[in-house]
Structure 1
Amino acid sequence: MVYGITPCLPTGLCYSRHTCDPRGNLPMRVAIIRQKYTDFGGAERFLKRAVDALSQRGVAITMLARAWPPAADRRIINPRYWSRTERDRGFAAAVCAHLQQESFDLVQSHERIACCDLYRAGDGVHREWLIQRARILGWQAKVADQMPYHRYILQAEERLFHSPQLKAVVCNSAMVKQELMDHFRLPAQKLHVIYSGIDCARFHPDLKAHRSAVRQQWQIPLEAPLLLFVGSGFARKGVNALLQAMTLMRQSAYLLIVGKDKQQARFQRRAKQLGLAQRVRFCGPQQSVLPFYGAADGVVLPTLYDPFPNVALEAMACGLPLLSSTKCGAVDLVESGYNGWLCDALDHHTMATQLDALCDPHMAVPMGQAARQTVLPLTLDAMATRMESLYTSLLDSPLP
């Protein structure tokens, strides 16, 4: 037995790609790899929804993870570690060892692990993130990039994208697809853009019923312009730039910041230094963001780099215009002035102008309506259909 693995009884019926034909009667058996689940992680929330949707279509899913909510079929693989580099390295080694013992029709990874058939690049391209981060770190970037963790991730990407086992990559935006072609010279036919699905019945303009209660809870005037930021990792997601842009706005808008960050106190001090303490509320992580969407007039995500945050889809489905950056995968869907706004993550003046537009109901309301229409086709069922179709095509392809 591989050290660190807690076995669970398998529930799948087929153990070989030769005997598990997706066109036959036996269920397709797919292993999905993700280290852990957190209620506040957008990628994990998406994956849980995706697993549920695929399971409902008869795909037998087995989760391989360090920690995951109770599921019909999961393997807990949790080797010890002493640093985040060893955490990722140890998990990768343990998973690959386990896959030598248990056979699946397809192995789909959401981590940078080379022993997979299909990789979902939901975390984007680390090379590109380091390039964008250097814009705010300056000369310090060369030192920071040499940290063991970054060196390990860069090496892991090289191994993954040049692995002979890798048959396809799912990109959650066209932006990520282009980055993989630019950085790793991957052929376009190996890269499949499949957008995350969104439940437009759950994320709906009717959430405005929460407007009064949420504003009262956070001491925000009912008629005041209110912007919403949702995300964890404030530096990467652009909170500094957002605060700076707010000082340049014509309107005295309020801002709710929902999410988790170990350095939250530092951002609170920054808001105070900029004279924004009375209009910015740090709400911390929330079990449900739905009421917050209902209270807001627009959603702001000026991220320095983000492959395609679920928050973008959620906001648009709620009928809220979205302001995001040109290095966010939402560029695929957002058209400036029509259903939202796009700007460079560090262009404070342009961002301020666009924030003022979000606060103007004559512009924001029709833009929000257009935003919802944009994402209505991106259902969970549509996403599951495309994933299942990709699985079938990979199984039908010649064996190596």
Structure 2
Amino acid sequence: MTRIVQIAPSIEPGSGVAGVAYALEREFRAAGVPVERFTAAEAGRTLDRPHRTTLGLHLARAGNVIWFSTLGTRRAKRYLAERPDAVSFTHNDVMAGDVYVNHGLLQAAMRARGNYAWRMVRNPVHLFTAFRDRIRYRGRTHRAVVALTGEEARLLTEVYGRVRPPVTVIPNGVDVERFSPGDAAGRAAVRGELGIAVDATVAIFIGHEFERKGLHLAIDALRMAPGVVLLVVGGSSDMIRRAGSQARRAGVAGRVVFAGERPDPVPLLRAADVLVLPSAYEANALVVLEALACGVPVVSTHVGFAPDIVVDGENGFLVERKVAPIATRLAELDGLDAATREEWRQRARRTAEQHSWREVAARYLELARSIEARKAAGRPTDRAAGAS
């Protein structure tokens, strides 16, 4: 029987890499597949340490990346050596494991934001990560690589020139039971808590990197979409302060609500009418699927998984990364009557139902079994590149 080990800095419910690994773990177990985890905690490092300043938080995150990439790698290799029959999936940092799941390309993200050389040089961890991943993708560290979208598979070759392990495209999924449309009472309660009128059109922005994800564009778009309230979820206190200053300069501060970091985005998504994601780069953007599952249409740039699942005029809109087209689509959705809004919500929900974690996990297990057969036959890592 196939046995799985997942390697990630942390594995827990929620969003991001930790949430993806957790969702896969749950589905593997539901399918009767034994699964173990190797996280920073198993490696002997505690990630959850309070930090009073943004600088302290950034330094801690940098330290965690370097530690898990180096000492964590050594300990992961020992862990896997004791489980020679297991197939291992690595999510971020560690330079070990049969399959590496690419949750994002640092260099592609920096290039998409502009001033690439300066962004790389000013942060030594960026240089460390770029060098580490060049070894990862061009060497024999892994037997296979998973890219979350076809575009991400293309970018792998564009950034690294040649990717030695074969690349398989497996998009992320969504928990369609947890992320589901709410009722009118719950929607009204959340809006009441946040001071938002029940009949307002709410555009929700979710993310911890305001600049890359384009919050400044969404704020400026409000000037041309006067009926829209922007609900911002995530961000540090410094980031929220700067974004608040921008909203005041733009004259829209009264229509921007900062909810801060929230452990559960579901109630906030259910209280929204549209997700706005004018991001410069996304490896996948799981929040797009989560919004659709909650019946929330999406206005997104052509990044990550959005081009594969967002259909203009049906479940959202794909826009240029400019203020005017974002504002036009937000205003268009604001002008819909109640019956038409409900049709949009239903179409959004139907889209997400085609991407459950159960289906995604089945594709990972298919890949695991092919790796297992290759290992049993004593075959080395394939020297190939491309997407399947």
Both proteins in one fold, TM over 0.5: yes
In 2, the alpha carbon distance for the partners of 1:357 and 1:254 equals: 14
Select which of 109, 129, 137 maps to 1:129. Answer: 109
Select which of 216, 226, 248 maps to 2:224. Answer: 248
Matched positions, count: 359
Question: What letter corresponds to residue 257 of structure 1 in structure 2?
Answer: V
In 2, the alpha carbon distance for the partners of 1:313 and 1:49 equals: 14
- 2:335 pairs with 1:355: no
TM-score, with length taken from structure 2: 0.85
TM-score, with length taken from structure 1: 0.83
In 2, the alpha carbon distance for the partners of 1:82 and 1:284 equals: 21
Select which of 45, 55, 70 maps to 1:78. Answer: 45
- 2:270 pairs with 1:276: no
- 2:272 pairs with 1:296: yes
Q: What are the superposed Cα offsets for residues 128-150 of structure 1, whole Å, 9 maximum, x if unpaired?
A: 1111111xxx4xx4323213111
SS of aligned partner of 2:130: helix
- 2:7 pairs with 1:33: yes
Change (3 A) 1:371 1:42: same
Change (3 A) 1:79 1:215: closer
Check conservation: 1:171, 1:191, Cα contact below 8 A: yes
- Structure 1: 5+ residue runs without aligned partners? 1-21, 23-27, 68-74
Q: Which has the higher helix share?
A: 2
Check conservation: 1:85, 1:152, Cα contact below 8 A: no
In 1, the alpha carbon distance for the partners of 2:190 and 2:148 equals: 32
Select which of 376, 379, 385 maps to 2:362. Answer: 385
Check conservation: 1:308, 1:329, Cα contact below 8 A: yes
**Range that drifts further, 359-368 or 335-344:** 359-368
Check conservation: 2:201, 2:227, Cα contact below 8 A: yes
For 1:113, the equivalent position in structure 2 comes to 94
Change (3 A) 1:311 1:292: same
Q: CA deviation at 1:159?
A: 0.8
For 1:260, the equivalent position in structure 2 comes to 235
In 2, the alpha carbon distance for the partners of 1:379 and 1:170 equals: 18
In 2, the alpha carbon distance for the partners of 1:149 and 1:289 equals: 30
For 1:334, the equivalent position in structure 2 comes to 310
Check conservation: 2:227, 2:331, Cα contact below 8 A: no
Change (3 A) 1:259 1:370: same
Kindly indicate whether structure 1 or structure 2 has the higher relative contact order, using CA contacts under 8 Å at least 6 residues apart: 2
SS of aligned partner of 2:291: helix
- 2:26 pairs with 1:52: yes
1:182-261 correspondence to structure 2 within 5 Å: 182-186=158-162, 190-249=166-225, 251-261=226-236
Question: What letter corresponds to residue 77 of structure 1 in structure 2?
Answer: G
In 2, the alpha carbon distance for the partners of 1:60 and 1:312 equals: 30
In 1, the alpha carbon distance for the partners of 2:198 and 2:320 equals: 31
1:303-322 correspondence to structure 2 within 5 Å: 303-322=279-298
In 1, the alpha carbon distance for the partners of 2:245 and 2:181 equals: 34
Change (3 A) 1:101 1:76: closer
Check conservation: 1:40, 1:259, Cα contact below 8 A: no
In 1, the alpha carbon distance for the partners of 2:185 and 2:145 equals: 40
Q: CA deviation at 1:352?
A: 0.7
Question: What letter corresponds to residue 179 of structure 1 in structure 2?
Answer: L
Q: What are the superposed Cα offsets for residues 126-180 of structure 1, whole Å, 9 maximum, x if unpaired?
A: 121111111xxx4xx4323213111111111101101214221112222211211
SS of aligned partner of 2:136: helix
In 1, the alpha carbon distance for the partners of 2:77 and 2:18 equals: 26
Q: What are the superposed Cα offsets for residues 271-323 of structure 1, whole Å, 9 maximum, x if unpaired?
A: 11111111110001112222212211111111121111221111101111101
Question: What letter corresponds to residue 390 of structure 1 in structure 2?
Answer: L
In 1, the alpha carbon distance for the partners of 2:118 and 2:329 equals: 35
SS of aligned partner of 1:36: coil
In 2, the alpha carbon distance for the partners of 1:344 and 1:165 equals: 37
Question: What letter corresponds to residue 45 of structure 2 in structure 1?
Answer: N
SS of aligned partner of 2:232: strand
- Structure 2: 5+ residue runs without aligned partners? 48-57, 381-388
In 2, the alpha carbon distance for the partners of 1:79 and 1:371 equals: 39
Change (3 A) 1:206 1:144: closer
Percent of aligned pairs with the same amino acid? 25
For 1:4, the equivalent position in structure 2 comes to none
SS of aligned partner of 2:129: helix
In 2, the alpha carbon distance for the partners of 1:38 and 1:59 equals: 19
- 2:122 pairs with 1:142: no
Question: What letter corresponds to residue 361 of structure 1 in structure 2?
Answer: L
